[in-house]
Structure 1
Amino acid sequence: MATKTWKIEKDLCRCCHAEGTFDNLAEPRTFLEKEEVYSDMLRECLDLDIPPVPGELCAITYSICNACITRLRDACNFKKQVQDCEQRFMTLYYKNAIQGLNTETVVKEELEVSIDDNHSDDDIETIVLKKEEDDDDDSFMDRDDDDDDMSEDFAITKKPTTSMKTRSKPKAKPKAPPVKKEKPQPQPKKKAEPKPVKEKKDDVNEEYALTVEADGTQTFTCRVCDKSFNQRKYVHQHHRQVHLKLRPKLRGCHLCDVKVPTHQRTYHMEEVHGLPAPSCGACGKRFAFPWLVLRHQKFHHMGESKYRCEPCNLTFIGRSKYMHHQTKHADVKAFKCAICDKEFKWRSGLKTHMLIHNNIRRHVCKICQDAFVQQSSLKYHVLKKHPEMV
């Protein structure tokens, strides 16, 4: 079966595969005095992430046509409209500011009947029977000729004092007050049964042995092959890849038989086969993945960042660097000296402080041979005792 070849002559819309002269998905555009980045709009509104491809196809295939821009803009506006309306509705609902319109019940007026004392009991029965017959008529309140049907000898008049009443009509029910949402009262917590404590394996101690020198230097020695490292992450990586055989997965090259790690594939394609790695068009810096190029451009060239420190107004490209910076503003000192209980924010500060307890003076004055623990102490000594050397 012959494979089909897709030849692209102009820009390609990644949303509908139309060809023409279109806008780049990552470049900001202005519409009605508002800045739009179409890749961000696709991600925020439709949860779609369209990555650019490396190489010569990157520029011509990372674009969007005007028709898709219009539909995307309508989708974003509709999503914002629904969110705003729902937020306003729920705000009014919880404030009991929404009331339903109940249809009013029409109540017929009670007719008061007074009878003269001169009439006999038979006449009174006649009037009562006549009144009951009128009540059976549904349009009793709408009739104008009720008095004409009665005998002229008996007159029905309305007086403020009631001597006899007809049967009462149902009264309108008062409107029910708005129901307030009552918060469920917290139920008393049941005493949780103690769970059996699981024994935790000390994986770190199984991998390496820690040795702390007198000057505070730490050495991590592999327990299997006695190889030493100066950082914990290196001995952990060594143990996983060498002894546990958990090496990183290799990705095969489709142009040759070489297999390389995923993060080195783009550099292999550039050095061996001449295919350029994803790079920044502004400064030429190369990256392993296209998404790193976009992050680099947004932070370094466009000034965009999600992580900004309010006290000092510094921006950071990632969350890890931002959280590390926040330690400077925090009052928490996590590193404590076991001898004098002095606390430090940074591990390096505790390491330098331990040199004082161990009386390790590594910084020696070249003139008078006086030794000091810290480099700053040596500089101060030279400035005061040997100002001619400054």
Structure 2
Amino acid sequence: MATKTWKIEKDLCRCCHAEGTFDNLAEPRTFLEKEEVYSDMLRECLDLDIPPVPGELCAITYSICNACITRLRDACNFKKQVQDCEQRFMTLYYKNAIQGLNTETVVKEELEVSIDDNHSDDDIETIVLKKEEDDDDDSFMDRDDDDDDMSEDFAITKKPTTSMKTRSKPKAKPKAPPVKKEKPQPQPKKKAEPKPVKEKKGEDSFTLTVGGDGTKTYTCNLCESSYKKRSCFTQHYKHVHLKLRPKLRGCHLCDVKVPGYMRAFHMEEHGLPAPSCGACGKKFAYPWQVLQHQKFHHMGEAKYRCEPCNLTFMRGGDYNRHQNKHMDVKMFKCELCGKAFKWGKGLKTHMMIHNNIRRHVCIVCRESFVQSSSLKYHMVKRHPETI
């Protein structure tokens, strides 16, 4: 049986398998003054991790088309909308700022109609009519019209088929007294709901700066502190400005309060051992970390495995960074001389040459170098006696 060959001439969209000239999944793009990385958007919004393949197919098969980009943006925006609406709803709910309409019960009134006392008791009796449906009134009037031979003063009552007491009928249908309409009670006024504060555009909590070597810097707009990682800035903003510091847990044997991740090591001072691995003796803060350590290091269980070199990884980020070793694509390019590098660290070191930043200094002749390898080579050639 012949095998079918898939020939790819142009870029391949990994989301719909369309071919054309598309954007790389890992390269950052700017849309409406916001930076987008489509592989990160797939991971954060849809929990999908699309790894690149090694070899010559890496560059042409790790891309996404414009139609899929539009649908991905809509999915991310919808997820953010749902999260914002749910957070606003729960905030108002716990503040008792949401009220419902109280349904009013409608009670039917019974109308009592009495006949005039001009006639004798032998002729007619007092009749109490309950007006419930219009059909009963129509049938009553029909019976009066059929009795053409009767006088206008009195109407003869017909005996019903059932064993009920016969009663004389009045000469005419008495008029019902006017029904007093009750005024609807005014409903209590609703409490004014607090309007949610709208965030103004441009008032972000940090400013992102991208250097010439591709390094990112997150600067706090409140205190102008700078951080190289987004997670470090987030921790700074929560702990310093929002005062959301980690809760301290008290020790039941002394008055010391420590963070949760340090509590197990503090309890060792009182003779209670911290969670540790029985195979290698390594200590951890929580028991689940022991189980994760044993599965990966001692039992060989891993979620990600590199096929070319047979290395295993527990986290998807470590696996994706490792895949760059098997790629021929050099994504980090110098804007001054055009030289490209596979790793961002290589571009950062290369930019020190253009900026003449020499951090490694010889202790003998005080000659400085950009790279530590250049200093080692200098020591071997010029000062071998110091080695």
Q: TM-score, normalised by structure 1?
A: 0.40
